[in-house]
A = this chain, B = another copy of it.
Amino acid sequence: MQVTTVDLTALGRAAKEASRALAVATTAEKNAALHAIADAIERHADTILAANAEDVAAGRANGLTEALLDRLLLTPKRLQALADDARKVADLPDPVGREYDQRTLDNGIRLKRRTVPLGVVGVIYEARPNVTVDIATLCLKAGNAALLRGGSETLRSNIALARALSEALASVGLPEACVQLIASTDRALVRELLRLDAYVDMLIPRGGAGLHRLCKEESTIPVITGGIGICHLFVDASADLDRAVPVIVNAKVQRPSVCNALDTLLVHEAVAPDFLPRVASALAEHGVAFRADDIAHALLVDTAGLDLTPAGPDDFDQEWLGLTLSLRVLDGLDAAIAQVHAHSTQHSDGILTETPAHAARFLNEIDSAAVYVNASTRFTDGGQFGLGAEVAVSTQKLHARGPMGLDALTTFKWIAEGDYHVRS
């Protein structure tokens, strides 16, 4: 892994060259590199933790919130988990080299598709230094060179991790440029990276809405946008209300800071008078505050112990990322579908119902990466979906949608073998 401060074009060129070596590396060679990375992280744990302590101290001096400092923090346990994860990536099936759609054309040409690495993957991320190792190891397994731009607040940690990765790659004879860190806090480099399409095949932003918008606006490299979830659950008139309460509580409070947490609860007017006070009381026990439309507000205003505010015009377009929930009462499935179409970011949306026809309509008509019947939205996750790993969660529609596993870090080529065939 190379650490540098300057010439992005040179980094891009080196990444492209390294990607050619990686593309023909065997599964065993790639797995050896992953084990070497795990070993190097363990071997250099003290150095990495010392660098991280400096980042945390500087972050505290700069007034970072406790939440952000926690994301930044590496503990011995967290570092060990990173090493363990690298070994787990080695255990995953190699996504490269799978051949499919084999056929012999009428003229005798043998045609097939083969999965191959994308080439060079650029990743722009914030705060968490574990992303450096996560992404580097997943890219490596899929045969891609990685060009990483981490947040300035984790620069010391990332440089220390980068040195360990660099040593590991060299030890197994792979080019160090397989993983390169853009080790500079110069923000202009981000815009420069976004236009490095001559060398970078895919760009993954991992951060907030602003970063995703910047990449969408400025990047000449294909971008996987995602990670922003305005998630809905609709409680239909036929839902099992007793069982609906814990699902909604789970979707909202199990981990409120993440993209698949619930943002807006929609309730059928037929059950709202009974159900809303019950679910609101259950949520209030976990500290949830409410932004309620007129009907929901009227139904809840007499319930004790609620933090209840009339919903403002923008409250149904919020990814709350915290213990706030928007509430709306609707007159049926059509209105619920229209509400989701108008306000969802197409991440994760669900219906709670005992009416199969309503479940089917919701699944058919809601165009989100993950659509749910009678389950919490919190399941949208590579691990939960059994993908073995998660690169990112895509909310766009090209190439990858929803949780992205190793497969999403590959493309394919068409292979045609003939006997001196000509087209007539």
Contact = CB atoms under 8 A, between A and B. Distances in A.
Contacts of A111: 385-386
A220 B222 contact: no
Interface stretch (A35-43, A171-179, A241-249, A313-321): A241-249
Determine chain A's interface SS by DSSP, over half rule.
mixed
A118 B367 CA distance: 9
A378 interface: yes
Interface string A383-424: 011100000000011110111000000011111111111110
How many monomers of this protein are in the complex?
2
Interface in A1-57: 20, 23-24
Contacts of A244: 420
A361 B78 CA distance: 42
Contacts of A197: 216
Interface string A361-393: 001110111111111101110001110000000
Contact of A374 (B223, B411, B418): B418
A397 B201 contact: yes
Contacts of A367: 20, 23, 116, 119, 413
A302 interface: no
Interface string A235-260: 00000100110110110001000000
A68 interface: no
Contacts of A412: 401
A250 B421 CA distance: 9
Contacts of A420: 240, 243-244, 246-247, 352, 374-375
Contacts of A250: 422-423
A119 B365 contact: no
Contacts of A414: 369-371, 380, 385, 401-403
A264 B416 CA distance: 19
A224 B423 CA distance: 26
A370 B401 contact: no
A189 interface: no
Interface in A91-138: 103, 105, 109, 111, 116, 118-119
B423 A376 contact: yes
Given A384-B105, A421-B247, A421-B374, A416 B368 contact: no
Contacts of A363: 415
A113 B380 CA distance: 13
A202 interface: yes
A243 to B, nearest CB: 4
Nearest to A118: B397
